[in-house]
Structure 1
Amino acid sequence: MRVLRISHSAAVADWRGRERGLRALGMTVTLLSARRWHAGGAETQLTAGADEHAVPVDTWGRHPALFVYDPRPLWRALAEEYDVIDVHEEPFALATAEVLLLRWLRRNKAPVVLYTAQNILKRYPPPFRWLERYALRHASGISACNAAAARIAEGKGFAGRARVIPLGVDLDRYTPRPSAPPTDEPVTVGFLGRLVPEKGLHVLLDAATHDPRLRLRIAGAGPLAEQLGADAAARGLGERVELLGPLDPESVPDFYTGLDVLAVPSLPSPGWTEQFGRVAVEAMASGVPVVSSDAGALPEVVGGAGLVVPAGDAAALASALVEAATARAPELRAAGLTRAAECSWDAVAGAYADLYDSITRRGARPAPGGGARAPRALEIAVVAYGAPDLLRRALEPVRDLPVTVVDNSSLPEIAALCGELGVRYLDPGRNGGFAAGVNVALGDRMVAGADMLLLNPDAVISADAIAALHAGLAADAGLASVAPAQTDERGRPARVAWPFPTPLNAWLEAAGLGRRQRGARYVIGSVLLLRAEALDQVGGFDERFFLYAEETDWAYRAHLLGWRHALVDEVRAVHAGAATSTDPRRREAHFFASQERFYRKHFGPVGWQAARAAIWLGAMVRSIALRGDRRAAARRRAATFRRGPIRVEAGLGAASVI
């Protein structure tokens, strides 16, 4: 695999372990990085060996989000063919927009991976808001160094599942010293980082006043450098505080091994919080226990391998520092070494390789000569809500296959039926809707890496038909989902393949030109087979869709990531349709509300208002032209879209059907 990585932070030699790890996995990696960058309080110049294939690039600007690269080296690099272009910059950054523009001008079709660490939900001013939206909508993959940043990227428009991949640490550079038995002698507490108020330095000084055993060694540069000595003296700490200034990179490992415990007492603010805390992992790799505050991603990084205290609580910090350096030192050293191994550059490179494989569909490609590389595993998920007789009819033909029933109604009758038929029963304890039920099944898979058949409890398909459907999916590596042709219980055919909803298609439908709708299509979810590789890249269903359009949303996100969907017309299933529902008006309200959510999510407020106007106008025309029940239905639709479907749904109170 050929990978082009673009990262200003790779100017720091310690932070190029990802590229070394990828090359060790057999990849060809070309790296473009800032020629010079200000990192960790010091100016850094890119120096790399010939085997690193690192190209230094001049930059204009110093802020990580407000700089651009000299476009000429990027232009030359983008003339080459790559399997993946990995831009290790934030989606809203000017450098990201620059790379995407040059890629478009070069007509380079390689999929793009972006990086994010931003774990505070921010609404940026134009043009950064627009640049971020464009970048997220055109990315094939996202790596995030913390879970909150991953969820924010998904919420802001990334179509797939953002991967949480930690920042790496060099386990050859940071190694533990021989451990000594803990004593009650003075405890050497270290701090390494920017000397700024948000890093909690004054909390650390206050903590030292609570216990005379604490001795502080503070390393770094920043606005508080000149003030800290006076502040320590004012607290009566005297010689118990040592200010080391900025450290040469070569001396950092020795700094860690000279400590009994590292403190990371950061203080969150409305505009900033810790995005990872690399110093914590470096200290763990050095065999040093870590105590951090609960700011931002620190509990995610430190929790379980170190001690976490409330941000700003000096007394709790003092107590934890002593505990970590004495009574719990052996335990925390061992846990820290395990955590550091999870963040090793080899582990990080492996996670990136998995991400690259996912977006390049390497696991989905058929073997040479046609057919699948190996028989594909399959499991079935049924999201049920009451109606045990219908459910029995759906389950009996498939009971010999791996089947999970997620019972949103929590009925003993459903549990008993599953026990009788020998299928797995899961009770989520709530009715979160169809999407939430599917996610329960996806989060507790019976067969790792299996394709997933979603089967409505009011649908029936035979085991032989499922096998034929599965063969149709396996035959085309570009398919994310397939569905069979369907009939109702009277044998009347039902429409299965539909064009994606768009504002333009809404106007065509309103004008009676529905057959003129163009563009990609999806297949409905009553009997829907999902490819495992697509699930891996796209992720689960959006639980904001309580009922209806959840499969449309998933399919559209897959479409944005380059997948297709197809009807396997030679396979048949029977679908009763809404047979588990007892309230058609409520069902209709959920349907229209899900339409609004879809338009708002994928086309923004303007797109939603355009579609809303079309649907309302079409309903008004039909309310005049039609008669009887059809006129009444058109009037209800017009009234719903005039008021707003989500508002109408909210007026119904708690949901009672799936």
Structure 2
Amino acid sequence: MRALAISHSASVDEWRGRERALQHLGLDIETLCAQKWTEGGAMVTPHAQPGERVTGVRTVGTHPALFVYDPRPLWRALRRNPDVIDIHEEPFALATAEVLALRWLSGCRAPYVLYTAQNLDKRYPTPFRQLERWALRHASGISACNSEAARIVERKGFPGQARVIPLGIDPSRFTPSPARPPGPTITVGYIGRLVEEKGVLVLVHALALDERLHARMAGGGPLADRVRDEAVRRGVRARVELVGALDPSEVVAFYREIDVLAVPSIPRAGWTEQFGRVAIEAMACGVPVVSSDAGALPEVVGDAGLLVPHGDAAALAYALAHAATGSAQRLRERGIARAAECTWDAVALHYLDLYRSAARVDSADASRPVEIIVVAYGAQDLLRAALEAVETLPVTVVDNSSSAEIRALCEDRGAVYIDPGRNAGFAAGVNIGLRHRQRPGADVLLLNPDAVVSPSQIHDLQAALHADPRLASIAPEQKDRAGRAARVEWPFPSPVNAWLEAVGLGRFEGGGSFVIGSVLLLRAEALAHVGGFDEHFFLYAEETDWAYRARRLGWRHAVASGVWAVHEGGATSTDSRSREARFHASQERYFRKHFGARGWQVARSAVWVGSMVRAALLRGERRDEARRRAALYRLGPIRVEARIAPRA
């Protein structure tokens, strides 16, 4: 597989450790980076190591979000048609828009992945907001260096599940040194900009609260003079050493001269910590870390360091002393283990998996198991029949009814029973089952309690799924207990399709199709790519939403011809009025999510017009049904659902 990586920050030779590790894994990777870039207050230029394919590209602009590349090297690289493009820039950046425009103009159709560190949910001005949304909606993957950044891009339009991948370090440089023997003083290290949001004044205050603490502060910034003045004011000037900016070659030696590293950052309205690479570097060198709770620091540090409330000098002073004395050995061991998760080799494995997912490189295993998830709500007799048919396979039952009878049935049939404690809906139930997988890496069969399918049919279903590497999901043909066939494949809802249906031209509906979720086999790679179900859908349309997100990521869905299952639709629900309200409320949620408020209004008017026409032309029960449908859409399905079918 051939990858093209575009990253202005790859001009820092050490930060191309990811690319070198990917090469060692057999990936053919070409890197384009800034020819010159200011990083850490110094101008850096790339110097390719033996075997590296790295090209420095001229840039116009100096802000990470407001610069562009010389388009000519990008054009030539895109014309070489890589298998995947890694745009290691923020989705809202001008450089990202430039690369995507050149990708389209050059005829390159390789899927692309993006990077984000932005863990504040910002609304950018035009045109950056529109550029960000377009980039996210068409991306095939996202890497984020913290969990909140991943959730933000998902909320903003990325259809899949963003991968949280840490920033990397070179384990050949950042290695543990022998533990420093305890002494009468504690040397506290700080590396970073000397600015207020980095908490340097809080650190100076902390020194005044414990006379054992001495600080070595590396870095430059506008607050340097104020730090000196504050140290004088608090009577600790003799215990504060400002060493200035460090050359990268001096960083390891700095860590070896301190007892504990402080990362006392303070979040601001427009800024917070996005990762905190210095914490991982210090841990790798065996240095205990004390950090504030700003931004991503709790996630990065975890239980491998000590966390204190941001801005709390007393808590910081206590934790620094404790980390360097009583907890030093424990934190040293945990820190070294945490840093091992962030080596370039470990990071490269995550990126290789991301690239393979984006490029749809099939890693199917003919012996891969299938795991079954059933979301139940009462209907014990129906569930018994479903479980008896698949008792030789691993089954997890998520019981939204919290029923003692269902628990006993699962124990009797050998199924894993999970009681979520409340009825949060079908999508939430599926996600609970996915979080408690019995066979990680297995394909997952979603099975309704009122459906019956045999292991041999599941085997045939899985064979059909893996016969096409583009398939995310597949369903069998279905019939009810009387032998009547039921429709399984449906076109995706859209405003255009709603009007085609309204005027009697439903046969011309387009835009792809999905298969219903009563008996639905999901490919493991697609689950990892798309993520779980959207829990805003309480009942109905959750599989439609998942399938649509998968389609936007390049996946397809199909029916396995000749493979049959029995499904008694609606057998677990006896309240038709509530069922209809929930169904159409889910349709409204789907339209609002994927087509916005305007798209929903277009679809809503289509259904209302179509229902009114049918009410005028039909007679009897069908006329009454059309009238009810028109009234439902006039009032708004979600509003009606809230009144007659409130959630538990």
Normalised to the residue count of structure 2, the TM-score between the two structures is 0.97
Q: 1:243 to 1:442 in 2, by over 3 A?
A: same
Q: Compare 598-607 and 345-354 and name the one that shifted more.
A: 598-607
Query: Counterpart of 2:146?
Result: 146
Partners of 1:12 and 1:606 lie apart in 2 by 46
Query: Counterpart of 1:123?
Result: 123
- 1:277-296 alignment runs, 5 A limit: 277-296=276-295
From 509, 524, 536, give the equivalent of 2:528.
536
Query: Counterpart of 2:47?
Result: 47
Query: Counterpart of 2:631?
Result: 639
- 1:93-492 alignment runs, 5 A limit: 93-183=93-183, 185-364=184-363, 374-492=366-484
Partner amino acid, structure 2, of 1:283: A
Aligned-pair CA distance for 1:191: 1.1
Retained in 2: the 8 A contact 1:41–1:194?
A: no
Retained in 1: the 8 A contact 2:376–2:397?
A: yes
Partners of 1:645 and 1:209 lie apart in 2 by 62
Partners of 2:244 and 2:180 lie apart in 1 by 28
Partner amino acid, structure 2, of 1:182: P
Retained in 1: the 8 A contact 2:582–2:645?
A: no
Query: Counterpart of 1:7?
Result: 7
1:10-48: CA deviation from partner (whole Å, max 9, x where unpaired): 111121110111011111111000111111222222222
From 575, 596, 599, give the equivalent of 2:591.
599
Partners of 1:647 and 1:40 lie apart in 2 by 54
Q: 1:65 to 1:651 in 2, by over 3 A?
A: farther
Partners of 1:611 and 1:450 lie apart in 2 by 38
Partner amino acid, structure 2, of 1:15: W
Partners of 2:559 and 2:176 lie apart in 1 by 58
Partner amino acid, structure 2, of 1:141: G
Partner amino acid, structure 2, of 1:121: D
Partners of 2:255 and 2:624 lie apart in 1 by 75
Partners of 1:620 and 1:412 lie apart in 2 by 46
1:544-594: CA deviation from partner (whole Å, max 9, x where unpaired): 111111100111111111111111131222211121123222222221121
Retained in 1: the 8 A contact 2:581–2:645?
A: no
Query: Counterpart of 1:370?
Result: none
Partners of 2:512 and 2:523 lie apart in 1 by 18
Partners of 2:265 and 2:520 lie apart in 1 by 48
Q: 1:270 to 1:396 in 2, by over 3 A?
A: same
Partner amino acid, structure 1, of 2:582: H
Partners of 1:76 and 1:103 lie apart in 2 by 10
Partners of 1:577 and 1:653 lie apart in 2 by 19
Structure 1 SS opposite 2:114: strand
Retained in 1: the 8 A contact 2:279–2:301?
A: yes
Partners of 1:125 and 1:507 lie apart in 2 by 34
Partner amino acid, structure 2, of 1:356: Y
Partners of 1:119 and 1:593 lie apart in 2 by 32
Say whether 1:547 aligns with 2:546. Answer: no
Q: Compare 520-529 and 475-484 and name the one that shifted more.
A: 475-484
Partner amino acid, structure 2, of 1:160: G
Retained in 2: the 8 A contact 1:225–1:245?
A: no
Retained in 1: the 8 A contact 2:180–2:259?
A: no
- 1:497-516 alignment runs, 5 A limit: 497-516=489-508
1:472-505: CA deviation from partner (whole Å, max 9, x where unpaired): 2122222111111112233222111001111111
Partners of 2:200 and 2:643 lie apart in 1 by 51
Partners of 1:652 and 1:13 lie apart in 2 by 62
Partner amino acid, structure 2, of 1:480: A
Partners of 2:7 and 2:255 lie apart in 1 by 27
Retained in 1: the 8 A contact 2:375–2:397?
A: yes
From 637, 643, 648, give the equivalent of 1:651.
643
- 1:580-619 alignment runs, 5 A limit: 580-619=572-611
Could you list the runs of 5+ residues in structure 1 that have no partner in the other structure? 366-372
Aligned-pair CA distance for 1:297: 0.5
Partner amino acid, structure 1, of 2:402: S
Partner amino acid, structure 1, of 2:388: E
Partner amino acid, structure 2, of 1:22: L
1:415-453: CA deviation from partner (whole Å, max 9, x where unpaired): 111111222211122211111111111111122221111
Aligned-pair CA distance for 1:289: 0.6
Q: Compare 230-239 and 278-287 and name the one that shifted more.
A: 230-239
Pairwise CA RMSD? 1.5
Partners of 2:460 and 2:283 lie apart in 1 by 53
Aligned-pair CA distance for 1:395: 1.4
Q: Compare 429-438 and 623-632 and name the one that shifted more.
A: 623-632
Retained in 2: the 8 A contact 1:497–1:567?
A: yes
Aligned-pair CA distance for 1:362: 2.5
Query: Counterpart of 1:527?
Result: 519
Query: Counterpart of 1:369?
Result: none
Could you list the runs of 5+ residues in structure 2 that have no partner in the other structure? none
Normalised to the residue count of structure 1, the TM-score between the two structures is 0.96
1:129-184: CA deviation from partner (whole Å, max 9, x where unpaired): 1111111111111100001111111111111111110000111112222113334x
Retained in 2: the 8 A contact 1:376–1:474?
A: no
Structure 2 SS opposite 1:651: helix
Aligned-pair CA distance for 1:321: 0.4
Q: 1:62 to 1:581 in 2, by over 3 A?
A: same
Partner amino acid, structure 1, of 2:318: S
Q: Structure 1 runs of 4+ off > 4 angstroms?
A: none
Partners of 2:493 and 2:29 lie apart in 1 by 40
Structure 2 SS opposite 1:573: strand
Aligned residues: 648
Query: Counterpart of 2:509?
Result: 517
Partners of 1:319 and 1:442 lie apart in 2 by 42
Retained in 2: the 8 A contact 1:90–1:116?
A: yes
Retained in 1: the 8 A contact 2:425–2:538?
A: yes
Aligned-pair CA distance for 1:641: 2.4
Aligned-pair CA distance for 1:605: 2.4
Partners of 2:12 and 2:389 lie apart in 1 by 60
Retained in 2: the 8 A contact 1:136–1:157?
A: yes
Q: Compare 458-467 and 264-273 and name the one that shifted more.
A: 458-467
Partners of 1:374 and 1:357 lie apart in 2 by 18
Partner amino acid, structure 2, of 1:565: H
